[in-house]
Structure 1
Amino acid sequence: MLHRRRGAAPDSATVRLLAEGMDGFWTDVIAPLDQDGDGKVDLREMTEGFKRVLTDPALYPEQIEPVFNCFFDLVDLNEDGKIDQAEFRQMFDSVAGVPGEDCAAVFAALDRDGPGALDRAEFHRAVTEFFYGCDPDAPANHLFGRVAG
């Protein structure tokens, strides 16, 4: 499925890289949430695990950054190391069905250096601000769609 969206062959390096990223997400983030050792991660385990990870910024590099590196690579359809506005809009449409004008406003606010694209560092700044920030007016609060006020 990934290969069709990205125009890559199922056995391509791109598909292998993305699959390895998702395998790593399972191994490093999801599987350790299985507190009772039954080989499954139930809703309680998932909720408690993510609550811990998403309230402790020290866990970002180990738990969240690899996931969003993979997400960044999925969104960066032309593989230029940046997410342009068209790719960002496609992400918004896929994740939350956000209207184009909201997408454009959020993208402009996140693109702090202004070249019309988010590099990996800007993307991680936005994700960090989204999960750990305290500013109710921060642009990243709308990273995955406008929050109704």
Structure 2
Amino acid sequence: MTALRDLKYGQWFRGADVDGDGFITERDVRLMSERYIAARGAAPDSATARLLTERMDGFWANVIAPMDRDGDGRVDLREMTEGFRRVLTDPALYPQQVEPVTECFFELVDLDGDGRIDRSEFQLMFDAVAAVPGEDCAAVFAALDLDGSGGLDRAEFHRAVTEFFYGDDPDAPANHLFGRIDR
């Protein structure tokens, strides 16, 4: 199912290429952090902002930067897709590879700090920050809310991110986590 993952990775790439120049750079990762922090309403010097910035810097250094095969300091779609294919092969490695950023992102999205992400919080972060259209947010949120509680707990959120990056199920709702993909 490499084709499905390529589609998902391409969707993620478009959101991560914050400045739209066709590359992901360390600056894009920093801009992504700043967008999350601003949407959260956190002060740039707050503990939450510092933690997210630190984890996103680690994500750049440990996951994205090593994909830069030609050493030009930027990662294009081909390099990123090939890199994700090489690195994101085993969901058992999720705790080291993706979970630290996801955990921090969960904290940012959970605006009221109740330990779950409700639909309005999900929509705010994914629509305003990741440029996922509102109608896509609503449909994805409903599909990810496995227990129908009206909120995503940490386990549901981590399950969705794991499925997005590692999964091959063409019908998994998490495929559209960062915007609807066309198959």
Shorter-normalised TM-score: what interval?
A: 0.7 to 0.9
Runs of at least 5 residues in structure 2 that lack an aligned partner in the other structure: 1-33
- Aligned partner of 1:139 in structure 2 is 173
1:120 aligns with 2:151: no
Aligned with residue 95 of structure 1, among 103, 118, 130: 130
CA contact 1:54–1:132 (8 Å) conserved in 2: yes
In the TM superposition, residue 3 of structure 1 has moved relative to its aligned partner by 4.6
Helix, strand or coil at the partner of 1:83: strand
1:57 aligns with 2:57: no
Q: Distance in 2 between matches of 1:58 and 1:39?
A: 31
Q: Between 80-89 and 136-145, report the one with greater CA deviation.
A: 136-145
In the TM superposition, residue 84 of structure 1 has moved relative to its aligned partner by 0.9
Q: Distance in 2 between matches of 1:26 and 1:112?
A: 31
Normalization by structure 1: what TM-score?
0.77
Q: Between 50-59 and 136-145, report the one with greater CA deviation.
A: 50-59
Q: Distance in 2 between matches of 1:72 and 1:54?
A: 21
Q: Distance in 1 between matches of 2:172 and 2:112?
A: 28
In the TM superposition, residue 125 of structure 1 has moved relative to its aligned partner by 0.7
In the TM superposition, residue 39 of structure 1 has moved relative to its aligned partner by 7.7
1:29 aligns with 2:42: no
Of structures 1 and 2, the one with the larger relative CO (CA 8 A, separation 6+) is 2
Normalization by structure 2: what TM-score?
0.65
- Aligned partner of 2:112 in structure 1 is 78
- Percent identity at matched positions? 70
Aligned residues: 147
Q: Distance in 1 between matches of 2:179 and 2:153?
A: 19
Q: Between 14-23 and 139-148, report the one with greater CA deviation.
A: 139-148
In the TM superposition, residue 58 of structure 1 has moved relative to its aligned partner by 3.6
In the TM superposition, residue 82 of structure 1 has moved relative to its aligned partner by 1.7
| Larger Rg, first or second structure (1 or 2) | 1
* 1:6–1:62 distance in 2 versus 1, CA, 3 Å: same
- Aligned partner of 2:103 in structure 1 is 69
In the TM superposition, residue 22 of structure 1 has moved relative to its aligned partner by 1.5
Helix, strand or coil at the partner of 2:152: strand
* 1:11–1:67 distance in 2 versus 1, CA, 3 Å: closer
